[in-house]
Amino acid sequence: MNVELYNQPLSSIIADITIEFVTPQQWETHPHAPLLSMAKFEGKSEQICLLHEHKLIVCGLDNESSDEYRSAMTSVIKTLLDTNYTCAKLCIPKEIYFHAVIEGALLGGYKFQEYKSKPKTSSLQTLFFAYNSQYDFEHFQSILHQTLIVSKATNFVRDLVNQTPYDMTPQTMAITAEALAQTNNLECTILDVNSLESENMNAMLAVGRASVNPPRLIHLAYKPNNPKKVITLVGKGLTYDSGGLSLKAATSMVTMKMDKAGGCAVMGIIKAISELSLDIEVHAFVGAVENMIGGNAYKPDDVLVAKNGKTIEVRNTDAEGRLVLADVLGYAQEKVKADYIFDYATLTGACMVALGPYTTGVMGHNEELKRSWLQAAEASGEYCGNLPFNPHLKKLIKSDLADVCNVSSKPYGGAITAALFLDNFIDEDMKQKWIHFDIAGSAYTESAWDVHTYGGTGAGVRMTLEWLLKLQQQGNN
Ligand code: BES
Ligand code: ZN
Ligand code: ZN
């Protein structure tokens, strides 16, 4: 869908249909109030009324907020995609809500149809936004430019996550990264099994050993001249998580193609950063691995030596993401001296137990840094919740046999103990500069909510871009 901005009154723009948003206080004075009332329209949140004769679609808003506008536009777009209208027009709401409306259109209108033999086509091609004043027009253009890049990057991540495990293997993920590097002028390095062996990445290798699709480490880099900061992003890229020998139950295994969502997210984030030409150097590392069963599979009882030399007692092969991340975090810190390191992983079911299915868990040692992320998430329309560390939880992953155990001795607080496991692989000088995001709940959905339709959500992209744009602004001041 194209989105165009016009410095003209709405009435002078020719389109098939006009979109209007009204709050419960506004609709009763609407010129078509009698008709709306006949249709039992009450101006409630996401309520839609299509007045075909008047070429008008009216959508309710409980109140004026970014979240309400985002959801309302999602409802509008979903309705319009089911019609034969080809273009629609609307007035830009207040500046602070503009990005949310664009997101509602681009994210809410997303549908993954690659595996449908007869994909549904839609007539809707273009959205025209009218803004009738010279004042701040450029500013609106830059909001539009930024929001389009971020929304498209989110949909790019969704497309990757939605690929089947047959289509998206570690090798295909690496090929996708190479293609992205080509189009976006990024540096790209891929490590195959031999290189991973030379780098002593035995934990990652152990997880991938029983798969016919060998692991890959992907390193994408965006290097502007004179960067203000250097950021490292690390993503869990389990193209499939069967659980390994600690095999998942049949019903829990379904959807585990989404276990690559962290890796896909960091690819989407670096894509957006390069398109926005930020003055920030960004490195994206993905541990692309398939966790399978087989005669050569790694086992509960194995002891693995990670890249940083620490030994890990494996007691559950389904806690594989942290093993992959242990090595990728080690590699990333060795290769790049960054100002911050952030990792994204569909790491634990426990995160969903703690925060529910829509919220990303935020963990780390630096309270102020975590706060800045909670703020960025809120501003971006993503949900984040703080999961606090404490020294007692740390004791739960002690091992009698090795330096650390890959699972906790108690069944509670699993999202935090997983993060405390990762902490073993964060260098001393990076402890205050590290944040771990558990996106197990937020990365994938089987029922539509907010701007999300069935499948990958692109969790992590919008909030990270929000955080990085703020960082760039601070650097400019
Ligand atoms: N990929 C899963 C976590 C997950 C579960 C993501 C559900 C999304 C939805 C991870 O590798 C895993 O299996 N974790 C185990 C850890 C346990 C064995 C300590 C889990 O959460 O059950
Ligand atoms: Zn697992
Ligand atoms: Zn996993």
Q: Which CATH number characterizes residue 131's domain?
A: 3.40.220.10
142 domain-assigned:
no
Residue nearest to atom 7 of ligand 1 (CA): 349
Distance 426 CA to ligand 1 centre (A): 21
Q: Atom of ligand 1 at shortest distance to CA of 320?
A: 11
In this prediction, residue 104 has a pLDDT band, given cuts at 50, 70 and 90, of very high
pLDDT beyond 70 at 477? no
pLDDT at 72 over 90: yes
Give the mean pLDDT of 458-463: 98
Q: Are residues 121 and 173 in the same domain?
A: no
pLDDT per position as a tens digit, 156-212: 999 999 999 999 999 999 999 999 999 999 999 999 999 999 999 999 999 999 999
pLDDT band at 88; cut points 50, 70, 90? very high
Q: 206 and 81: one domain?
A: no
Q: Is residue 145 domain-resident?
A: no
Q: Give how many domains the chain has, as a whole number.
A: 2
260 and 409 together in one domain: yes
User: Given the CA of residue 347, which atom of ligand 1 is nearest to it?
Assistant: 3
Residue 227 CB less than 6 A away from ligand 1: no
Q: Does residue 140 lie within any of the structural domains?
A: no
Averaged pLDDT for residues 266-273: 99
**Does 348 contact ligand 1 (Cβ within 6 A)?**
yes
What secondary structure letter does DSSP report for 78? H
Residue ending a domain, choose from 112, 135, 158: 135
Tell me what pLDDT residue 187 has. 98
362 ligand 1 Cβ < 6 A: no
* Rounded-to-integer distance, Cα 336 and Cα 356, Å: 34
Burial of 310 (0-12, 13-18, 19+ CB in 10 A): middle
214 and 155, same structural domain?
yes
Residues 6 or more apart whose Cβ sits within 8 Å of residue 392: none
Cα–Cα distance, 464 to 228 (Å, whole number): 17
Q: Is the shortest distance between the CB of 262 and ligand 1 below 6 Å? A: no
The whole-chain average pLDDT of the chain stands at: 97
Same domain, residue pair 131 and 278: no
Question: 124 and 229: one domain?
Answer: no
What spacing in Å lies between the alpha carbon of 211 and ligand 2's midpoint?
A: 14
Output the CA 321–ligand 2 centroid distance in Å. Answer: 6
Q: Are residues 255 and 191 in the same domain?
A: yes
Which is the closest atom of ligand 1 to the Cα of 350? 21
Which one of 161, 239, 289, 318 would you pick to mutate in the ligand 1 pocket, going by the greatest count of ligand atoms within 8 A of its CB?
318
Ligand 1 pocket, residue 440 CB under 6 Å: yes
- The pLDDT of residue 475: 79
Question: Do residues 193 and 261 share a domain?
Answer: yes
Atom of ligand 1 nearest to the CA of 248: 13
* Tokens of residue 227, six digits: 């960067």
How large a percentage of the chain has pLDDT more than 90? Answer: 94
Question: Where among 78, 110, 135 does a domain terminate?
Answer: 135
CA distance 465 to 58: 31
Q: Is 318 a pocket residue for ligand 1 (Cβ < 6 Å)?
A: yes
Catalytically active residues, by annotation: 248, 322
- Which of residues 135, 165, 196 is at a domain's end? 135
Residue 92 belongs to what domain range? 2-135
**Residue 141 falls within a domain, yes or no?**
no
Q: Tell me the whole-structure pTM to 2 decimals.
A: 0.98
The answer to whether the Cα torsion of 267, 269, 272, 278 is positive or negative is negative
pLDDT tens by residue, 333-390 = 999 999 999 999 999 999 999 999 999 999 999 999 999 999 999 999 999 999 999 9
Q: Is residue 143 part of a domain?
A: no
Q: Among the bound ligands, name the one nearest to the CA of residue 407.
A: 1
Name which residue sits closest to atom 8 of ligand 1, judged by CA: 440
Ligand 1 binding pocket includes 224 (Cβ within 6 Å): no
Spacing, Cα 168 to ligand 2 middle (Å) = 18
Q: What is the 3-state secondary structure (H, E, C) of 88-156?
A: EEEECCCHHHHHHHHHHHHHHCCCCCCCCCCCCCCCCCEEEEECCCCCCHHHHHHHHHHHHHHHHHHHH
Nearest bound ligand to CA 350? 1
Q: CATH no. for residue 284?
A: 3.40.630.10
215 and 249 belong to one structural domain? yes
For residue 378, the CA-to-ligand 2 centroid distance in Å is: 29
In a shared domain, residues 110 and 157:
no
CA of 366 to the centre of ligand 1 (A): 25
- 155 and 130 part of one domain: no
State the first-to-last Cα distance of the chain, in angstroms, to the nearest integer.
36
- Tell which wins on pLDDT, 125 or 477: 125
The CA angle 159-161-162, to the nearest 5 degrees, is: 65
When pLDDT is cut at 50, 70 and 90, the band that residue 261 belongs to is very high
Predicted pLDDT at 135: 72
For residue 164, being part of any structural domain is answered with yes
Q: How far apart are CA 177 and CA 186, in angstroms?
A: 9
Do both 15 and 56 map to the same domain? Answer: yes
241 lines ligand 1 (CB under 6 A): yes
Whether 188 is covered by a domain: the verdict is: yes
Q: Is any ligand 1 atom within 6 A of the Cβ of residue 349?
A: yes
**Looking at ligand 1, which residue's alpha carbon is closest to its atom 22?**
349
Residue 289 lies in a domain: yes
**What does the pLDDT look like over 277-335, one tens digit per residue?**
999 999 999 999 999 999 999 999 999 999 999 999 999 999 999 999 999 999 999 99
Measure 8 CA to ligand 3 centroid, in angstroms: 51
